Amino acid sequence: MKLTNYKKILLNLLFKEKVYRNELINTLKITPSSLTYILNNLKKNKYISIFQENQRIAGRPKHFVKLYKDNWKSIGVRVGRESLGLTVFNGYFEELEKISIKLTKSDIGNENLPKVIKKIINKISSKEDIVAVGIAFSGKIIKNKVYSNILNLKDFEPKNIIKTLIPNATITIINDVEAIATEEFVKHGGKKILVINYGTGIGACFYESHGIYEKSERKVIELGHFHAGGSERCYCGLVGCLETVASDYANLKKYKYKNLNIKEFISNQENYENDLNEMRNLYKSYRKKAEELYKDTFDYLAIFISNMIKLLTPEKIILSGEGVSKWFVQNLEKKISSISLNPISITFSGLRNNIEYGASIDALREHILKLKF
Ligand SMILES: [Zn+2]
């Protein structure tokens, strides 16, 4: 499908929030009068707004373009093991509504999860003008079907559920770490970004951007199920997965529950919430003890991350998730640098990421590509 200048302009605005007229003339290589023609059409149909910048120095006023605030309402949904989150955005990506529902064992699975998804969408004040819905799952996405051990999903098709509630919206399904990488790219740029999400599970995504017009390459890496050794059978069926020896599950086992096994832990995770919190904050009062407890985790992660750096040569490494802290990142950096030739730098993002925002961007991109011009 050929990308028209109309779509190119909208994609620019989706990724950059605000673009100057002159930038568009230069990047699209079109004449000022053609641009004026296109912009007027887009404006007339309420796709964009055109603003004039007040300049202190005399000269021609600079014009910039933004998406029309009220015509690009979208929803980002995040489905994790602990909770289901939803945010409604306008065309400026301001958060209009934010809803979250805690999930328990009885809410997950192919049969139960649709009820909770419907419930959260029905809580939105108005569904009528929503143009795009992006849903991010902790799990594997193959051809719009979700497979997730921790959410107990197999061949799960969320599109059908959303379609019954918001029939006209463009719907996309992505992995949650993919959504984090998308957000990182939109907000902070970068060409090759490696995002590692660490908590009770370990996931990763390698995001390689080919600019605004081409679909970026996003490789979801199931880091938590890479072989690390040991004899414990993982909930995924394999033996010796990284998650069995280096995740917050493994740390918690060492910290408090010697006989814990990963299958039991994953299906009853909500029962361990307080213990996990306590453990994740241990470094604040008992630094030495925390360093000892997390030593294996840092050793294992150092091996896997330095290998990934060799393989993918990322220019930016982001560490996100509820299991990480500044202390965690510093220790991991130290460990990796001690086994590498060059010091490496990891950006701590913790829970700052807005998975809903990343999911929403993904759905709006698809929506723009589907528009008829
Ligand atoms: Zn596994």
Distances (CA, A) of 242 to 229, 245, 300: 8, 5, 8
Q: Report every protein residue that has its C-beta within 5 angstroms of ion ligand 1.
A: 225, 234, 236, 238, 241
- Tell me, what's the pLDDT at 1? 64
CA 223 / ligand 1 centre spacing (Å) = 9
Pairwise CA distance, residues 24 & 5, whole Å: 10
Is the model's pLDDT at 352 over the cut of 80? Answer: no
93-106 CB burial, b ≥16 within 10 A, e <16: beeeeeeeeebeee
pLDDT, one tens digit per residue, over 78-105 is 999 889 999 999 999 999 999 999 999 9
Q: How far is the CA of 192 from the centre of ligand 1 (A)?
A: 26
Main-chain phi, psi angles of 94, to 5 degrees: -85, 145
Decide whether 72-182+354-370 matches 188-350 in CATH topology.
yes
Distance CA(92)–CA(201), nearest Å, equals 33
When the pLDDT of each residue in the chain is averaged and rounded to a whole number, the result is 94
- Report d(CA 359, CA 370) in Å as an integer: 17
Tens digits of residue pLDDT in 200-232:
999 999 999 988 898 889 999 999 999 999 999
Distance in Å, CA 225 to ligand 1 centroid: 4
* Amino acid of residue 132: A
pLDDT at 58: 66
Q: Which residue in this structure is represented by tokens 């220790």?
A: 331
Q: Which CATH number fits domain 188-350: 3.40.50.300, 3.30.420.40, 3.30.2290.10, 3.10.450.50?
A: 3.30.420.40
C-alpha 241/C-alpha 236 separation (Å) is: 9
Give, as one character, the DSSP assignment of residue 15.
H
The closest alpha carbon to 134, from 195, 188, 73, belongs to: 73
Give me the pLDDT at residue 357, please.
96
For 262-286, what is the mean pLDDT? 95
User: Phi and psi dihedrals of 75, rounded to 5?
Assistant: -125, 135
CA of 226 to the centre of ligand 1 (A): 7
Residue 292 has a CB neighbour count (10 Å cut-off) of 11
CATH fold for domain 72-182+354-370: Nucleotidyltransferase; domain 5 (3.30.420)
How many angstroms is it from 152 CA to the middle of ligand 1? 14
Q: How far is the CA of 244 from the centre of ligand 1 (A)?
A: 8
Q: Are the C-beta atoms of 176 and 256 separated by less than 8 Å?
A: no
Distance 250 CA to ligand 1 centre (A): 13
Q: Quick one: pLDDT at residue 57?
A: 66
Distance 227 CA to ligand 1 centre (A): 8
Q: Which of 303, 311, 313, 298 is nearest to 340 (CA)?
A: 303
Q: Cα of 40 to ligand 1 centre, how many Å?
A: 54
The pLDDT tens digits of the residues spanning 42-73 come to 999 999 999 998 766 667 778 999 999 999 99
Residues 276 and 200: beta-carbon distance below 8 Å: yes
Tell me the helix, strand and coil percentages in the chain, rounded to 5.
45, 25, 30
- What is the model's pLDDT at position 82? 85
Percent with pLDDT over 70 in the chain: 99
* Pairwise CA distance, residues 351 & 337, whole Å: 24
Q: Please report the pLDDT score of residue 342 as a whole number.
A: 81
Coil, strand or helix at 368: helix
For the chain, what's the residue count? 373
Under CATH, what is the fold of the domain 5-70? Arc Repressor Mutant, subunit A (1.10.10)
Residue 132 in tokens: 């795009």
Q: Where are the domains of the chain?
A: 5-70, 72-182+354-370, 188-350
The rounded Å distance from CA 201 to ligand 1 centre is 10
**Beta-strand pair 130-137/73-79:** parallel
Going by C-beta distance under 8 Å and a sequence separation of 6 or more, which residues neighbour residue 251? 279, 293, 294, 297
- Alpha-carbon gap, residue 277 to 296, rounded angstroms: 19
Mean pLDDT is lowest, of 43-57, 329-343, 356-370, for: 43-57
Strand partners, 241: 227
